Chain A
Amino acid sequence: DAKTTQPTSMDCAEGRAANLPCNHSTISGNEYVYWYRQIHSQGPQYIIHGLKNNETNEMASLIITEDRKSSTLILPHATLRDTAVYYCIKRTSYDKVIFGPGTSLSVIP
């Protein structure tokens, strides 16, 4: 079975970059990697997504390895408000959205 692996939890000092890894045992050519986060039981919030190329938006950067089986979400200057659970999801546009356990990121003052 295809499996997505993320660390259970991570800490990051406020103001430093937070690097959150994600690994997929398999990934198809038409599957995108999406990142969402959930802040304290609010509805999940979209952060960024990518297919092959690295991506950057106002919230974060996404680095995808050449084989596409690994990606890293980078929050360049973490703040206390970035404390959340971060979910990495691979899917095509026709797939339903299934969540794994995610990574609980704690930003430390």
Chain B
Amino acid sequence: NAGVTQTPKFRVLKTGQSMTLLCAQDMNHEYMYWYRQDPGMGLRLIHYSVGEGTTAKGEVPDGYNVSRLKKQNFLLGLESAAPSQTSVYFCASSSYQGSSLAFFGQGTRLTVV
């Protein structure tokens, strides 16, 4: 019963490098989200998806791209990493049916040097 799984858990990037964070959920949820959390602050929504093949901008989308080619996966891409993107990234999923609880991954700690 994996729930929401994020890979990798840790990563160090050099400025200008690119990378992709993977989020996978096994609950058949329609909605998926990517958040970032900076030290001492709350979670801010980067991008989200309401279904396979759809994505939308959240509160802080600049510098990130996302794709949802399969319902169970939501990818977050950084094309040219900047030190300001040093953060902890969380993925979540929820269903619009039933109680619509959101389930979260354990986070990816990204450092851009």
B56-95 contact mask (Cβ, 8 Å, vs A): 1 or 0: 0011000000000000000000000000000010101011
Are A101 and B96 in contact (CB-based, < 8 A)?
A: no
In the complex, residue of chain A having the shortest beta-carbon distance to the beta carbon of B44: A99
**B42, A46: Cβ atoms closer than 8 Å:** no
The secondary-structure label for the interface of chain A is: loop
Does B31 contact A96, Cβ atoms closer than 8 Å? yes
Mark interface residues in A3-35 (1 if CB within 8 Å of B CB, else 0).
Answer: 000000000000000000000000000001010
Question: Measured between alpha carbons, how far is A43 from B95 in the docked complex, in Å?
Answer: 18
Q: Which residues of B does A touch, CB under 8 Å?
A: 4, 31, 33, 35, 37, 41-45, 48, 58-59, 88, 90, 92, 94-107
Question: Can you sample 14 A-B contacts with CB below 8 Å?
Answer: A32-B100, A38-B43, A41-B107, A43-B90, A43-B92, A44-B43, A46-B101, A46-B102, A91-B100, A92-B100, A93-B96, A93-B97, A93-B99, A98-B59
